[in-house]
Structure 1
Amino acid sequence: MTTAFEKTLDAIDGLHAQDPRTTTLKDGTTMPQELAYAQRMSKWLTPIYAAPGELLQLAVRAQHLQRWQVPREDYDKGRVGYLTWRRDQGKRAGETTARLMEEAGYSAEEAQRVAAMIGKKGLGRDPEVQALEDCACLVFLENYFADFSRKVEHDHMVRIVQKTWGKMSPRAHELALSLPMSAASAALVDEALGEA
């Protein structure tokens, strides 16, 4: 018999798989971008948080749920537009995940807890929300940082690394420093942390 957790996870991954954008994995296969991102998030959870419960696992898996449906370009340029877009995305992903959870048999309270984690409510105070944020930062550093840094002005990129670092736990710092990086990426991290 399928559990509520398995039903919800399948439903989340089903929505991720609808992402029309694809990414090429290290083995040369392609996958919907959002599904790849979600799997990368889940991969980092156990190194960050020992024995994560079902609710945290679902929140981590659903953090970017259907993000492609509301492009960043639909919002104003600059920091305020970015923060508004990110907040709205978190709210949408949380609401959708909560609905999927209730349909699968979770209580309203459990569903709202996951929505709150996805919305990053309690960041810095709630260990589970911190674990979700740590996963997101590590996924960025491992998979997207090098390409992103080639598109962003150098001083701005230094500030992004500093802000990312400031949101991470000591355990995530340790894991981040063990990531393989190109010489250019490593130099950028060194510069950012030297100025932090």
Structure 2
Amino acid sequence: MATAHNIKRAFQLFDNANREDPNTEVFEGKTHAKELLYAQRMTERLSIFAPDASEALQLTARCQHICRWEIARDTYDMNREGYLRWRQALKKFHAAKAASILEKVGYSKEVINQVQFLLEKKHLKKNEETQTLEDVICLVFLEYYFEPFAAKHPEEKTIAILRKTWRKMSDKGQTAALKLPLSESALQLVSRAINAL
């Protein structure tokens, strides 16, 4: 099958899976399945940030949170250790889910292995594609999820999260972040966070 057909079919199956998300988000007056909207935002941001991204990276961006709701945060201890164990479990879960769909589409083992490698965030800061994925994740967070997060948490925690986010990004990602259409208050928080690094 042609590559263009493969990726279109994979996106369709990823989206069908994420459409089942019981959690919703209202955006521009419409209600969306939360992880479906997130996946579409990831694809959109990747196309802007890295328009020449490989097929494996495009696939990974689209399924980065696939069926995330199936492993709830509260199934692990509500502390730092529990959070890290939950994140590790999610990476493996997403990798297995994505592989199952990509096999159905007819992708080679090589492509599937690369998508799984990226989903598990291996060699961050060392592997160019892993870093690009992380940059896109951070950019999507800053553009769409940071301000709602900041509204629910103390400023000290918000600043700490911003610093962690900033450290994960490449220079290119940081430059792109400063060009996002953030509100004045959000930009002030970002400035405070990065000036303290």
Using structure 1 for the length normalisation, give the TM-score.
0.94
Matched, 1:189 2:187: no
Instruction: Kindly state the Cα deviation for residue 78 of structure 1 after the two structures are TM-superposed.
Output: 2.4
RMSD between aligned alpha carbons? 1.4
The CA deviation string for residues 118-146 of structure 1, in whole angstroms up to 9 with x for no partner, is 11011111111111111110111000101
Q: Which residue of 2 aligns with 1:92?
A: 93
Q: Which residue of 2 aligns with 1:178?
A: 179
Q: Which residue of 2 aligns with 1:14?
A: 16
Instruction: Kindly state the Cα deviation for residue 79 of structure 1 after the two structures are TM-superposed.
Output: 2.0
Using structure 2 for the length normalisation, give the TM-score.
0.93
**Matches of 1:132 and 1:50 in 2, distance apart?**
13
**Matches of 1:79 and 1:148 in 2, distance apart?**
18
Q: Which residue of 1 aligns with 2:6?
A: 4
Aligned residues: 195
**Matches of 2:152 and 2:80 in 1, distance apart?**
17
**Matches of 1:172 and 1:43 in 2, distance apart?**
15
Instruction: Kindly state the Cα deviation for residue 65 of structure 1 after the two structures are TM-superposed.
Output: 0.5
Q: How does 1:60-139 map to 2 (within 5 A)?
A: 60-139=61-140
Report the AA paired with residue 60 of structure 1.
A
**Matches of 2:172 and 2:45 in 1, distance apart?**
12
Instruction: Kindly state the Cα deviation for residue 5 of structure 1 after the two structures are TM-superposed.
Output: 2.0
Q: Which residue of 2 aligns with 1:32?
A: 33
| Bigger mean CA deviation after superposition, 177-186 or 7-16 | 177-186
Unmatched 5+ stretches in structure 1? none
The CA deviation string for residues 5-59 of structure 1, in whole angstroms up to 9 with x for no partner, is 2222211111011111111112x11111101000000011122224112111000
| Bigger mean CA deviation after superposition, 182-191 or 15-24 | 182-191
Q: Which residue of 1 aligns with 2:48?
A: 47
| Bigger mean CA deviation after superposition, 165-174 or 78-87 | 78-87
**Matches of 1:171 and 1:188 in 2, distance apart?**
20
Report the AA paired with residue 13 of structure 2.
A
Report the AA paired with residue 57 of structure 2.
L
**Matches of 1:194 and 1:23 in 2, distance apart?**
33
CA contact (8 A) 1:130 1:169 kept: yes
**Matches of 1:191 and 1:182 in 2, distance apart?**
14
Instruction: Kindly state the Cα deviation for residue 77 of structure 1 after the two structures are TM-superposed.
Output: 1.6
Report the AA paired with residue 25 of structure 1.
F
**Matches of 2:79 and 2:153 in 1, distance apart?**
13
**Matches of 2:184 and 2:56 in 1, distance apart?**
38
| Bigger mean CA deviation after superposition, 182-191 or 164-173 | 182-191
**Matches of 1:116 and 1:31 in 2, distance apart?**
29
Instruction: Kindly state the Cα deviation for residue 184 of structure 1 after the two structures are TM-superposed.
Output: 2.4
Could you tell me the percent identity over the aligned residues?
38
**Matches of 2:74 and 2:153 in 1, distance apart?**
16
CA contact (8 A) 1:123 1:129 kept: yes
